[in-house]
Amino acid sequence: MEKRVTFNERWLPYLLVAPQIVITVVFFFWPTGQAIFQSVITEDAFGGNTKFVWFDNFTHLLNDSSYYESVRITVVFSFLVATVGLAISLLLAVMADRIIRGASAYKSILVWPYAVAPAVAGVLFGFLFNPSVGTVSWMLKGVGIDFNYVTNGNQALILVVIVAIWSQVSYNFLFFLAGLQSIPKSLIEAAAIDGAGPGRRFWDIAFPLLSPTGFFLLVINVNYAFFGTFGVIASLTQGGPGQATNILVYKVYNDGFRGQDLGGSSAQSVILMVIVILLTIIQFKYIERRVHY
């Protein structure tokens, strides 16, 4: 889409885009180029003696079992965050959509988690599930479950999944609710006149019409689980115990800053960039379709 009416100025448009372009080049393109460059070289510990090593950093990475472990954890984590998170948000949105009285009060509370930083959410849940004082871990002890995310890897993974879902629930809920409210009332009424009950109307009408929203949210949630959950991991488990919650984006940071393995960390960055680019392309392909829906 283009404007018919435009202004004729020689230098003004360059001046106007300059701040954004300068910042983009300095803080996006330059570092990205560096990441790609560093992924094909090795440096000794003092930053001197740079050596070009082709794809050694990548082959090294792909022969490293801890990298595969991190990939596996990331896939399990993202799958759980996306599917369970979307299911809960959809349930809440469908129920909230039926409610007339008090709907805005419910909605006001359901949008809160969006405002809480994932890192702070991690601290909140770390308190609730703290093995010695946490209210929830105390309740779990009452039913015979010994919950200790500090030492038990599976429980740590479950906890970071819960926190990640909690942080994202507002976002999913609002999009599902908007999707439900855009379904023409006449469709629902026609089905009701034909004798379809609420359950039937949901599965046969609302659910198919929501599928574009659902697919969009799926991509957003996978993206979120891959990259947006850094704060949750960092403030709750730091990738541990052992490797149990060491998702890819945390591993990049951990290997690069704590392990000082620049080549390995950059190779991981490059792989993650490819993943983000793929996700973004899928997202935009889909959005083009949604316009015609």
Question: Toward other proteins, which CB reaches closer, 31 or 208?
Answer: 31
Give just the sign of the alpha carbon dihedral 241, 154, 272, 23: negative
In whole angstroms, the minimum distance from the beta carbon of 142 to other proteins comes to: 9
In whole angstroms, the minimum distance from the beta carbon of 290 to other proteins comes to: 9
User: Which of 262, 245, 3 lies closest to 122 in space, CA to CA?
Assistant: 245
144: left (phi over 0), alpha (psi -120 to 50) or beta: left
Question: Toward other proteins, which CB reaches closer, 32 or 211?
Answer: 32
In whole angstroms, the minimum distance from the beta carbon of 55 to other proteins comes to: 18
Specify whether the CB–CB gap between 233 and 160 falls below 8 A: yes
In whole angstroms, the minimum distance from the beta carbon of 230 to other proteins comes to: 5
Identify residue 7 by its one-letter amino acid code.
F
Question: Toward other proteins, which CB reaches closer, 134 or 164?
Answer: 134
116: left (phi over 0), alpha (psi -120 to 50) or beta: beta
64: left (phi over 0), alpha (psi -120 to 50) or beta: beta
- Residue 34, SS3? helix
Q: Name the DSSP letter for residue 136.
A: H
In whole angstroms, the minimum distance from the beta carbon of 156 to other proteins comes to: 14
Distance between CA atoms of 157 and 137, rounded to whole angstroms? 15
Question: Toward other proteins, which CB reaches closer, 155 or 269?
Answer: 269
Count of all residues that appear for the chain in the document: 293
List beta partners, residue 52.
41
Question: Toward other proteins, which CB reaches closer, 6 or 63?
Answer: 6
In whole angstroms, the minimum distance from the beta carbon of 228 to other proteins comes to: 8
Question: Toward other proteins, which CB reaches closer, 76 or 105?
Answer: 105
